[in-house]
A = this chain, B = another copy of it.
Amino acid sequence: MSLTNFFYPDSVAVIGASREKEKVGHQVLASIIEGGYEGDVFPVNPGAEELEGLKCYPSVGEIDSTPDLAVIVLPAKLVPSVMEQCARQRIKAAVIISAGFKEVGDEGQRLEKQVVKIARRGNMRIIGPNCLGLLVPGHKFNASFGGELPEPGEIAYISQSGALLTSILDMAKSNDVGFSKLVSVGNKADVDELDILESFGSDSETQVIAGYLESIDDGNSFARLSEKISVEKPILLIKSGRTASGAKAASSHTGSLSGSETAYECLFKRSGVIRCNSIIEQFALAQVFAYQPLPQGERVAVITNAGGPGIMATDAVEEQGLTFAQLSQKTMDALRSELPSASNVNNPVDVLGDALSDRYHFALKTLLGDPGVDTVVVLLTPQSMTDCEGTAKAIADASQSVPEKPIFACFMGGDKVSKAVDLLRKARIPNFDSPLGAISAAKTVVDYVRWKQRPQRVVKLFPVHRNKVEKIINRYQRRKQREISEMDSKEILEAYGFVTPKGSIATTAEQAANMADQIGYPVVLKIWSPDILHKSDVGGVKLGLVNRQQVMDAFDLMMLRVPRKEPEAQIRGVLVQEMCREGREVILGMQRDPNFGPLMMFGMGGIFVEVMKDVAFYLAPLTAEEARMMLKSTRTFQMLKGARGEEAVDINAIAEGLQRLSQLATEFPQIEELDINPYVVMREGVTPIAVDARMSVNVEGDK
């Protein structure tokens, strides 16, 4: 869907245009005219003949052509009838600036629905209502009351807060930030963040997308779209309302550890969206992405004219997890031959306090030429000999001659560096007020590059027994029973390829016999202990038991004899089933977010999972890489891969478990949450066991 009529109208009707300066109807008309809009403008107001030197129309129906766009600035209750007129006039796009709709309550909500209905019938699109309008600097088009048109630029902005847009426009002007488009989406009655994002994505004038959002209405579509767009154009979002969701009841570990914030974090991580905490940070990053090339890697070199800032940059590189570039011998020789002998020719390169621009220029060009350097950060303090402006020019020159490597500047000071900072800005070299600021930005860019280079997402589909699961779930839903019993939960898991210890652990001989009855004979009894590796050696395995008596005898003998041979072993009971072994306990889980779908969880298992919080989340469906990434992001992973002499467990088997669970959650949207805890994992080649599981489904009557 194209929003061309909104962004590039050849003619626009301003319905509700006014002569009174304090009225929004005046401000919008004045903004359009003052912005230098070159298309036709039709003010509509039955009470005026002429406005701002333009012929004024009593109604939109009186205009003898069809405007591409209507901008409506009327009291809410008048909007439906005006929309009818617009539809009759075959206008295809309307920006409804007027407030008084959904945001004021039920009556407004009704009015808003009515307006949307009229638009749908007339095949019209709406931006708003309750918005600030939109601005397209390159088209000299300012249909807003937010402020002056900024300079044209590569950054497109979407804001769910109109008022914030006034701050953004004002800050942009002071910071020389240019925009391709700015849209205030208001109540998102029709055009929403997805439409805007899609149009920004395909917009040739836009290279970077930024935005302020309070809600994302269709999480899955947003995930798909933003992931597609992020590959080409970085998306920088402020997402507020972190705490809005409040507490919710959760019956699983996974549920109690997740939440809508977790879902947003997962969404952004997967789709490469870069989250910002403030508009200042967002502007800085937007400029970095718009003006500088992407680095090839994470190796940073630093040039400084003072030790202190050099040390601060070194600290920041370490803290941010970037790599300090190891300069080549050739680079160091070159630096040594040209710089004064007291200079440091290792990274960070210190050109000394009396450095003029020539030393900076030489050092910068030399570092840019080193194949082991991906990004250069140039620090400057305004000492008595320092040539701030000359150095800015030297950086600009070096950047032009080696345009393929990013350069960040950090000129630390006030008046003494301000002209130099202006020069840097004109040369599109991002400048930061602290070494940490520059290095943090470099880190964000490196993370984005890593995300872009991630392996292609291939979600493996395992052969499973969907019918079996379908039947069990239907049974519970028919009975309006949310909680699936442990037995049935394990049936479901088995249908998806998990191994479960049917009947789990018996602690008395009679219990063991009952379990064996349930499972059906013959059964195997195995002592259940994480401390015993070779069960047969200690009499801990009995195969082929065919009746109750045999099971009870085997149980009693096992419980008598095994502790004699292994007095230190932790014995939890006896496992009655086909196969099972000792191992480590982890948790696999899923919590369905109402907006984003299944959130998969992996973590340290056991009863303290909520306390230790050593868990990782990701959105389903999971690829093998994503599952492994989840594992690696926990501290538990260090144990699993065999720390401190412990045997490593089968990492790929755990990842496969997560993928299977992800498939189950994806194929059965009825499942609300589930935990496998503990999921007992063993050495490579041994199938893990889902020892305990809980699962719940949604039932009729749920919202």
**Chain A residues proximal to chain B, CB less than 8 Å:** 22, 24, 27, 104, 145-147, 159-164, 166-167, 170-175, 212, 214, 238, 240-244, 277-281, 305-309, 311-312, 314-315, 318-319, 342, 353, 381-386, 412-418, 433-437, 507, 559-560, 563-564, 567-573, 607-608, 610-614, 635-636, 638-639, 643-644, 646
Contacts of A560 in B (CB 8 A): 564
Residue of B nearest to A239 (CB): B315
- C-alpha spacing A163/B644, complex, angstroms: 47
Would you call B22 and A385 a contact (CB within 8 A)? yes
Contacts of A171 in B (CB 8 A): 412-414
Contacts of A342 in B (CB 8 A): 104
What are 18 A-B pairs at a CB distance below 8 A?
A22-B385, A147-B382, A162-B306, A164-B308, A164-B412, A166-B381, A166-B416, A167-B309, A167-B382, A167-B412, A175-B414, A568-B571, A568-B573, A607-B644, A608-B638, A608-B643, A611-B635, A612-B635
CB distance from A598 to the nearest CB of B (A): 26
Would you call B305 and A163 a contact (CB within 8 A)? yes
Contacts of A166 in B (CB 8 A): 381-384, 386, 413, 416
The listed residue (B164, B242, B384) touching A309 by CB distance below 8 A is B164
The listed residue (B146, B164, B214, B613) touching A635 by CB distance below 8 A is B613
The listed residue (B308, B436, B570, B572) touching A160 by CB distance below 8 A is B308
CB distance from A181 to the nearest CB of B (A): 19
Which residue, A412, A559, A560, A573, has most C-beta atoms of chain B within 10 A?
A412
Contacts of A170 in B (CB 8 A): 382, 413-417
- C-alpha spacing A383/B386, complex, angstroms: 42
Would you call A174 and B414 a contact (CB within 8 A)? yes
Contacts of A381 in B (CB 8 A): 163-164, 166-167
If the complex has contacts A240-B312, A571-B568, are A173 and B414 also in contact, measured as CB distance less than 8 A? Answer: yes
Would you call A145 and B384 a contact (CB within 8 A)? yes
If the complex has contacts A161-B308, A171-B413, are A568 and B278 also in contact, measured as CB distance less than 8 A? Answer: no
Would you call A308 and B240 a contact (CB within 8 A)? yes
- C-alpha spacing A60/B281, complex, angstroms: 54
Contacts of A162 in B (CB 8 A): 306, 353
Contacts of A568 in B (CB 8 A): 507, 571-573
CB distance from A170 to the nearest CB of B (A): 4
Would you call B318 and A243 a contact (CB within 8 A)? yes
Contacts of A413 in B (CB 8 A): 166-167, 170-171, 174
Residue of B nearest to A240 (CB): B311
Contacts of A146 in B (CB 8 A): 384
Would you call A433 and B384 a contact (CB within 8 A)? no
If the complex has contacts A243-B315, A414-B170, A635-B613, are A437 and B163 also in contact, measured as CB distance less than 8 A? Answer: no
Would you call A163 and B353 a contact (CB within 8 A)? yes
Contacts beyond the supplied A170-B415, A278-B433, A563-B571: 16 A-B pairs with Cβ under 8 Å: A159-B308, A160-B308, A162-B353, A163-B381, A164-B308, A167-B381, A174-B418, A242-B315, A244-B311, A277-B436, A278-B435, A279-B433, A281-B434, A567-B571, A567-B573, A611-B636
CB distance from A375 to the nearest CB of B (A): 18
CB distance from A413 to the nearest CB of B (A): 4
Would you call B418 and A315 a contact (CB within 8 A)? no
CB distance from A610 to the nearest CB of B (A): 8
Would you call A242 and B27 a contact (CB within 8 A)? no
